[in-house]
Structure 1
Amino acid sequence: MLKALIALAFVIMVSSLAAGAGFLLHDDSRSKRVLVSLKLRVATASILLVLLVYGFYFGDLAAG
């Protein structure tokens, strides 16, 4: 379950990155969609970091 959540967070981050790049190239200068995409990516990155720390601390992601 934890590995699926980590994979989902990573997919959300990558899709937000791609969407932000598209918004940056195609939107006008007053659009807020790039900022919203960045906020989503930062929030998802912090969730991913918490999930990874949790997984390594409790041994769910231990090597082997």
Structure 2
Amino acid sequence: MLKLLIALTFIAMLISLAAGAGFLLKDASTSKRTLTSLKLRITLAVVLMILLVYGFSQGLLN
């Protein structure tokens, strides 16, 4: 279950990265969608790190 959550979080990060790149290339300079995508990606990275630390500390990940 934990490995599935880690994989889903990583996939969500990749989707957010692709969306941010698309927003950066297509949107006007006043758009905040790129910043929102970055905030989401940072939040997902923090969640991923927490899941990894939890998994290693509990012995669920080798």
With normalisation by structure 1, the TM-score equals 0.96
Unaligned runs of 5+ in 2: none
With normalisation by structure 2, the TM-score equals 0.99
Q: Whole-Å Cα distance in 2 between the matches of residues 11 and 37 of structure 1?
A: 14
Q: Whole-Å Cα distance in 1 between the matches of residues 25 and 3 of structure 2?
A: 33
For 1:19, the equivalent position in structure 2 comes to 19
Moved runs in structure 1, 4+ residues, more than 6 A?
none
Unaligned runs of 5+ in 1: none
Question: How many residue pairs were aligned?
Answer: 62
Structure number having the greater helix percentage? 2
Aligned residues: CA RMSD: 0.3
